Structure 1
């Protein structure tokens, strides 16, 4: 290819297209360029549960953006990436606006880095909290009487876990939970025949991710996380927690250091949780 031809291609306006599995390998290249430890299977998991857009020029991917719909009223947004060489041309805003148009009147939720706050703020998103990323190889498993209450979930319990999760987060996430049950392991706390807590654990990035974690209180949340860790000795673990969860200092004692903070934002009427349980850890910063 001549230098003149290459320059002509670079000057061509990128085309917006739907994000399909055809783009997964190139999407992996974009995330690797940013230092994200995603695997191809991590991209496939996210893309298989959601929908989104890409920007491409002459068959070369230069940006991605994704959306995950929960019920008829909510969507989370994420995986918004623009190649380093293509930044500064408004491509991120173009991708994001395509997501907004696609979502229509949905309430939209996302977790933003410092770099994205201005863009999202201009489009009506308001900060509602923070998420702290903790990771590392955990120290020894601490004994706890609550560990005896945790066991692997049974397939027949998935509808119950789905209902429990929906009440806790305020939006239906059945498709996500189905995906998590297939991609990894679900554990539950059951008292008097009632599910009062659950956690998911799956392969991700440099090791494993624990989340979502939904529980009645911090003691149960710790027991669910501890049980997940006990199944994976000497393995790198990542957990993303709402800053309001109160788990941060305990995770630090377990060798899971806080390495990053993002801002949770919402546009529209935020979900209204019900019931007595709380969300102690996210599935991921993108999927919520």
Structure 2
């Protein structure tokens, strides 16, 4: 549907207009996330838009709402960055944005991570909870453990192996996202019998660095990857979002990454099947999954 068509369909009594999300909206989206105290940088919004698509609500030339989604193949997607300005809340704008997003992404299964405030909106559209995400952040204490010979920076030639490992761990085709994240960050691999059996990415995001995705076969392997990434960052602010089932929470707190908030993972449709043995221990972020 064209921008003109969205404008024709998307007017209400207050002259709010629903239009596709484009680069001209990035500054307005950044101001909106700052109002919510969400720690996105302009660069984070830009990367999200490069990898996905979405909608904004404008009123008198000001961005008052955003919603974005990211396709993973033809069958699945993630959704996020769903924000409505505080002064515009309670008027159905969130529902308007979400319905446009669902129409655009149809017929894919869609996963998202919801705040407590968003749960009702998503439940009414058929989303069901399937898990909990814990956000940890802080300046981590440096490890003094023995260096491991099975951990090292990722080589460019290993990208295909990592993409296959990620698909087995998530059930999702995330090649485009991974390629973009590796380009902008540092990748690390855990080897078994000379082949990658786990990986982690560290990159600039928000208030500092985010470590994620983290894919591994066990909590001990995930800890080793995270520790390896932290050792190369030095004393900087680090964020990591982990599933509640990851068994990493106590360890993360012990190294100075305190649990600061939770989100509920919800899905509309059949969750992506993962074949393992590796699985997700850390998210790219709560929007990308």
Q: Tell me which interval the TM-score lies in, with the shorter structure as reference length.
A: over 0.9
Question: What residue in structure 1 maps to residue 5 of structure 2?
Answer: none
2:49 maps to what in 1? 47
Deviations 1:201-229 (A, max 9, x none): 10011110000000111111111100110
* Root-mean-square deviation (Å): 1.2
The correspondence for 1:18, drawn from 17, 20, 23, is 20
CA shift at 1:78, angstroms? 0.2
What's the CA shift for 1:278? 1.4
TM-score relative to the length of structure 2: 0.94
TM-score (norm 1): 0.94
Given that residues 137 and 235 in structure 1 are in contact (C-alpha distance below 8 angstroms), is that contact kept between their aligned partners in structure 2? yes
Are residues 1:123 and 2:118 paired?
Answer: no
- Answer yes or no: is the 8 Å Cα contact 1:144–1:223 preserved in 2: no
Which digits, 9 at most, give the CA deviation of each residue in 1:121-141, with x for residues without a partner?
A: 110000001000000000121
Equivalent positions of 1:115-264 (< 5 A) are 115-144=117-146, 147-264=148-265
State the alpha-carbon separation in 1 of the partners of residues 245 and 33 from structure 2.
Answer: 29
Larger mean CA deviation between 64-73 and 134-143 belongs to 134-143
Q: Where does residue 268 of structure 2 map in the other structure?
A: 267
Q: Does 1:27 align with 2:37?
A: no
Offset at residue 45 of structure 1 (A): 1.0
Give the superposition deviation at 1:251.
0.2
Matched, 1:101 2:103: yes
Aligned residues of 1:188 and 1:197 also touching (Cα < 8 A): yes
Instruction: State yes or no: 1:83 paired with 2:80.
Output: no
Q: After superposition, what is the alpha-carbon deviation per residue over 1:60-109, rounded to whole angstroms, capped at 9, x for unaligned?
A: 11100000000110010000001111111110110001000011111110
Offset, 1:11: 5.7
Using the alignment, how far apart are the partners of 1:104 and 1:32 within structure 2? Answer: 30
Contact kept? 1:31, 1:38, Cα under 8 Å? yes
Kept in 2, the 8 Å contact 1:188–1:198? The answer is yes
Residue correspondences, number? 278
Q: Which runs of 4+ in 1 moved over 3 A?
A: none
Instruction: Please give the secondary structure, in 2, of the residue aligned with 1:12.
Output: coil
C-alpha distance in 2, partners of 1:172/1:144? 35
- In 2, are the aligned partners of 1:130 and 1:263 still within 8 Å (CA)? yes
Paired residues of 2:142 and 2:230 also in contact (CA < 8 A): no
